[in-house]
Structure 1
Amino acid sequence: MVATKAHTGMTQYMKAKPTKWGFKLFVLADSFNGYTVDFVIYTGKSQFSSGVGLAYDSVMSLIKPSFLGSGYHLYVDNFYTSPKLFMDLYSMGIGACGTYSENRRGCPRTQSNALGKKDKRGTITWIREGPLVFVKWMDSREVSICSTIHPAYTGKTVRRRFKETVDNWVTKDIPCPQPIMDYNKYMGGVDLSDQLIQYYSVHHTTKRWYRTLFFHFMDIAATNAYLLHKELSQEKGDKPMTHRGFLEELTAQLCGVSVMVPPVKAPAQHLPVAISEQEDLKKRASYGRRSCAHCRETRHKRQATPWKCLACDVALCLIADRNCFQEWHQE
């Protein structure tokens, strides 16, 4: 969701989202680093006319074998998961895995794959239909997942805490299906992409709704450029720049300038200045006088002077027959 409350035909309201008002984007992102591979802006129902459904059409519009090829694994949430989508992706050489809802068309609703409320934590049931496997697992609540990549169970376990008595908690290992373990591991690409984009965003308040989208596109491009920079630096064995440093350098190059370096303060000049800042001319020679530091060290006398060094802040004599200012700085 790209936040905006502009009155356009594309503005959507989604109650369950942290950003409730805005433009809705369907995003395909890399699970490992959050690289945004492609995205589609939802402009309304008329945008997809296949008749299969919004979830199916949005995924198929992002999966382009011309540049993706085959052999990839796609992880989606329960909004997109459907047997037809997964079978069509399987025919393209792309495996898929995702949670699903009980009322989704094509999903099995038999008692052989059902879990009851009294089933123990770690209970697993599954049904296989060709390349599709439908798995249900009882954790703190029932979890349903569908996959064309995994077997139902490979013997792996996860650790969970159980309450044996009122004040006694124990940790046990319970069986966990392989699809759920991989789903939890790889189902964070879009969230990671959003997180990286929000770190250093160029978005700011504007009255032109199309500028909001343009700023978001700039954020996507800049974030992708930084991720590519990290990959190339690691291949070369170099230390990559920080995210902020990279964006500063990118901005400077786009503007045709160099990155601003904090100015170095010029060293203070050793100049004689009056100790007292009296506005009355008659009092400048007598008010604020201090003993000369050079006279104390060399002549062992306390000679009062109205002058001091601007840089050293040391009182020094400056008269015709006694130039302590010059002698002090020469030493």
Structure 2
Amino acid sequence: MSDDSISDSGSEYLPDLSDDYSDSGDSCLEDDSDTEYLEDIEPIVDEDPNWNGYSWNFEVYYGKDTSFSLPDPVAANLSISEIIVVHLMKNLLDKGRHVVTDNWYTSYRLGNYLLTRDTTLTGVVRAGRGPPKKLVNEKLSRHQSTFARRGNTLVVKYMDKKEVNVLTTLYTAGMVEKCKTYFGDKTVFYNKPLHIEKYNSLMGSIDMADQLLEPYAFGKKSLAWFKKLGIHFIFRILLNSYLAYKNQKCYKKDFMAFILEVSKGLVFRHSPSGRAMLEAEEEAKSQKPTKMPNMDVIHSWVRFQPKKQKKCRICTRDFKKRKDTTYHCPGCPGEPGLCSKEHFIAWHSHPHKKRGSEAPRAGSSRQ
């Protein structure tokens, strides 16, 4: 094993890691949980952030008896978590792809296998799944980092708020300068490992997919579990369609508008009654509103239904005070509030005053 000789303004620490990876570095943790969940791999379609959230493949995990198709006999030596990655990427292998995984999948052994299939790997790795013991046990200060390399595999340990180990078979050791501004305009500059910065930006694809699908998640508990699974599949398909259509047709609307347009299109194509309803709605929208002919209106002193309140026009106009009332005249423009029968009569006994006009505000003059 050879170390990457990097020295950058004292922000990282390079210990002597002259020994090879220990045998336990290739060990892999397996999870035999029978919990039912969806395993999603978010491959890199393009570094364009507009494609973040696109799902290439998924598999329903229903327990340790779940069967996976393997591309070659060598893959049978991998653990369950590693096989999941290979299984979901079986049609993307040998094409120079780059896969990003979290710490449940990443291991030194998986990285080596994927290299034999012309595929690179980057991911957060647990301490027992590849990093050398000396690197794992090394104590670092805030924003310090240390690298170790074996062949094409590079591991970095970085201390931010907590320690993190990231394994990659794609990137070389390097640093990027970052800055953070605290309260009081205090700015701190520090160096961060390059492939940790890349990992954070690329893993945003999974976060974006979860964020877009969360408002439409079927959270109601039901014995018919296939309903929840089926609805999840439908919205996953819709999200993929939305991202593809958005990037090919310069579609500017949001995901919700896309769902409504697709739903209307399907109803219009496959449901005669639904098509008639949509056509009637479109026709109603296209027609200009017609003015109703003048009709005799009935003036009466009645209560609002449903119950609500308006300020009494007479109290505001003549007494310069505000009084809310639940009674009004529905025959006058604006349905003015009138708190008593006397004020109802007073409001209609002044033909020289324009009915329905807004009463003056308190403190304003009236000619």
Taking structure 1 as the reference length, what is the TM-score of the superposition?
A: 0.65
CA distance in 2, matches of 1:138, 1:61: 33
Secondary structure of the corresponding residue to residue 175 of structure 1: strand
- Corresponding residue for residue 77 of structure 1: 102
2:215 to 199, 209, 220: 199
CA distance in 1, matches of 2:188, 2:256: 43
| 1:63 partnered with 2:89 | yes
CA distance in 2, matches of 1:192, 1:69: 27
- Corresponding residue for residue 344 of structure 2: none
What amino acid sits opposite 1:211 in the alignment? K
CA distance in 2, matches of 1:140, 1:312: 62
Contact 2:299 2:332 (C-alpha < 8 Å) held by counterparts: no
Alignment CA distance shift 1:74-1:270 (3 Å): same
Contact 1:89 1:95 (C-alpha < 8 Å) held by counterparts: yes
Higher alpha-carbon deviation: 257-266 or 80-89? 257-266
Contact 2:43 2:99 (C-alpha < 8 Å) held by counterparts: no
2:155 to 124, 134, 138: 134
| 1:120 partnered with 2:141 | yes
CA distance in 1, matches of 2:176, 2:41: 29
- Corresponding residue for residue 41 of structure 1: 60
| 1:159 partnered with 2:179 | yes
CA distance in 1, matches of 2:109, 2:159: 26
Between Structure 1 and Structure 2, how many residues are aligned? 250
Secondary structure of the corresponding residue to residue 197 of structure 2: helix
1:26 to 36, 39, 46: 39
What amino acid sits opposite 1:89 in the alignment? L
Counterparts of 1:270-281 in structure 2 under 5 Å? 270-273=293-296, 275-276=298-299
The runs of 5 or more residues in structure 2 that have no matched partner are: 1-32, 69-75, 269-274, 302-330, 336-367
- Structure 1 stretches (4+) deviating beyond 6 angstroms? 309-313
Deviation of residue 90 (structure 1)? Answer: 1.4
Deviation of residue 137 (structure 1)? Answer: 1.6
Deviation of residue 79 (structure 1)? Answer: 1.0
What amino acid sits opposite 1:193 in the alignment? A
2:228 to 209, 212, 216: 212
CA distance in 1, matches of 2:283, 2:170: 54
1:269 to 278, 292, 296: 292
Deviation of residue 54 (structure 1)? Answer: 2.0
Deviations 1:159-203 (A, max 9, x none): 2469xxxx9994332221111111111112222112112234577
| 1:96 partnered with 2:137 | no
1:241 to 239, 253, 263: 253
Of structures 1 and 2, the larger Rg is shown by 1
Deviation of residue 220 (structure 1)? Answer: 0.5
What amino acid sits opposite 1:43 in the alignment? Y
Deviation of residue 139 (structure 1)? Answer: 2.0
Secondary structure of the corresponding residue to residue 156 of structure 1: strand
CA RMSD of aligned residues (A): 3.4
Secondary structure of the corresponding residue to residue 270 of structure 1: coil
Deviation of residue 40 (structure 1)? Answer: 0.7
Deviation of residue 76 (structure 1)? Answer: 1.0
Alignment CA distance shift 1:48-1:205 (3 Å): closer
Secondary structure of the corresponding residue to residue 273 of structure 1: coil
Contact 2:177 2:191 (C-alpha < 8 Å) held by counterparts: yes
Secondary structure of the corresponding residue to residue 176 of structure 1: strand
Deviation of residue 135 (structure 1)? Answer: 1.0
Higher alpha-carbon deviation: 209-218 or 239-248? 239-248
Deviation of residue 120 (structure 1)? Answer: 2.9
Deviation of residue 87 (structure 1)? Answer: 1.0
- Corresponding residue for residue 303 of structure 1: none
What amino acid sits opposite 2:41 in the alignment? L
What amino acid sits opposite 2:123 in the alignment? G
Deviation of residue 248 (structure 1)? Answer: 1.0
Higher strand share: 1
- Corresponding residue for residue 197 of structure 2: 181
Secondary structure of the corresponding residue to residue 121 of structure 1: coil
CA distance in 1, matches of 2:297, 2:38: 69
Alignment CA distance shift 1:95-1:255 (3 Å): same
CA distance in 2, matches of 1:269, 1:231: 48
Deviations 1:30-60 (A, max 9, x none): 4532011110111111114746322111111
CA distance in 2, matches of 1:86, 1:268: 74
Alignment CA distance shift 1:108-1:233 (3 Å): same
Higher alpha-carbon deviation: 33-42 or 193-202? 193-202
